[in-house]
Amino acid sequence: MFPKNTWYVACTPDEIAEKPLGRKICGESIVFYRGNGGQVAALEDFCPHRGAPLSLGKVVDGKLVCGYHGLEMGCDGKTVAMPGQRVRGFPAIRSFPVVERYGFIWVWPGDPAAADAGKIPHQDWYDHPEWAYGGGLFHINCEYRLMIDNLMDLSHETYVHATSIGQKEIDETPCKTTVDGDTVTTSRFMNNIEAPPFWKLALRGNNLADDVPVDRWQVCRFTPPSHVMIEVGVAHAGKGGYDAPVAHKVYSVVVDFITPESETSHWYFWGMARKFNPGDQALTDTIREGQRKIFTEDLEMLERQQRNLSAWPARDLLKLNIDAGGVQSRKILERLVAEESRPGESKGEASGTRVQA
């Protein structure tokens, strides 16, 4: 279950730099590539000639050329040419609205008539002199909502990430969840504690002492369909915490774009945007590798959790107060999916046209 009339992150530009990329998103097999003038295009990954995946082809003069028999496909899903053939009667394949923005390729797998590039959420940190960003991509064999649950309940850090960002004060400090429209926020503030290893590294990366007490915050923010932005950081204790002047803190946003592949698998685009020492590329690399190591610790747990839930489909799970962030996020998703299936609503099944972004 996932909404289809919405924007998902499909890939990063480097993934389509050399050749077309085939990727399944929300159950749709899609080929992504740079077409006319370098603009990104997204089409069904199915050549109308004999069904070969177009992603095995190559791009020539802005047209996607099938790697089997040379059919030239246009960015709108209409065949442009084929050696020795008149192509006017060729059936069009589906194209998907697609936009390149904020360092990602975004795709709209639903009704193209409803696609509005203005609905792609603004990313403050992108291309901004005060910020630096680094990230990566995982393919995970679990439903995307298990990842939302994971990120909206950071009490798991104490157990899954014990040696990097976990600490007992997370468990001991209650969190608070609020819902404002389609935004769900779960916050936790821990004062006068010792920074865990990852945050000591970040303090040093900002030329701050790492051996003094700190105030630590975690503000997880879900917006549909599956974006979770987490304000995280520590400040030297007593300097104002979350609101401390920049000279006394390290402040970052964990950037999570979670894209369903199928009902039991997803693409996880993770990263960290930091608002300190942005010019230090080595620090960016260090933080990315630290984050990769930390997020790798979640993989086995999430995939094994999925296998358990698939094996026991009828069993109810608990919804404790620490789970409120995930529970509220799921309610919003259920409402959005129900709206898409209502008569008169678009169901994301119509044949597509490419949005101008």
Using the rule CB under 8 A, is 49 a contact of a second copy? yes
Residue whose CB is less far from a second copy, 46 or 189: 46
Using the rule CB under 8 A, is 349 a contact of a second copy? no
Using the rule CB under 8 A, is 90 a contact of a second copy? yes
Q: Which residues have C-beta within 8 Å of that of residue 246, sequence separation ≥ 6?
A: 275, 276
Encoded tokens for 148: 């939302």
| CB-based contact 113:346 (threshold 8 Å) | yes
Looking at residues 140 to 199 of the shown chain, list those that interact with a second copy (rule: CB under 8 A).
Answer: 149, 153, 155-156, 158-160, 171-172, 174
Neighbouring CB atoms inside 10 A of 29's CB total: 15
Using the rule CB under 8 A, is 48 a contact of a second copy? yes
**Closest separation in Å from C-beta 85 to a second copy:** 5
Using the rule CB under 8 A, is 318 a contact of a second copy? yes
Q: Which residues have C-beta within 8 Å of that of residue 117, sequence separation ≥ 6?
A: 97, 99, 101, 355, 356, 357
Q: With residue 138 as reference, give the H or E element that holds it.
A: strand 132-140
Q: Which residues have C-beta within 8 Å of that of residue 166, sequence separation ≥ 6?
A: 157, 158, 159, 160, 196
Identity at 145, one-letter amino acid code: R
Stretch that binds a second copy, among 65-73, 98-106, 211-219, 334-342 (CB under 8 A): 65-73
Stretch that binds a second copy, among 47-55, 105-113, 129-137, 273-281 (CB under 8 A): 47-55
Using the rule CB under 8 A, is 312 a contact of a second copy? yes
Cα 250 to its chain centre, rounded Å, is 23
List contacts with a second copy (CB under 8 A). Answer: 29, 45-46, 48-53, 56-57, 65-70, 82-85, 90-91, 149, 153, 155-156, 158-160, 171-172, 174, 300-301, 304-305, 307-309, 311-312, 315-318, 320-323
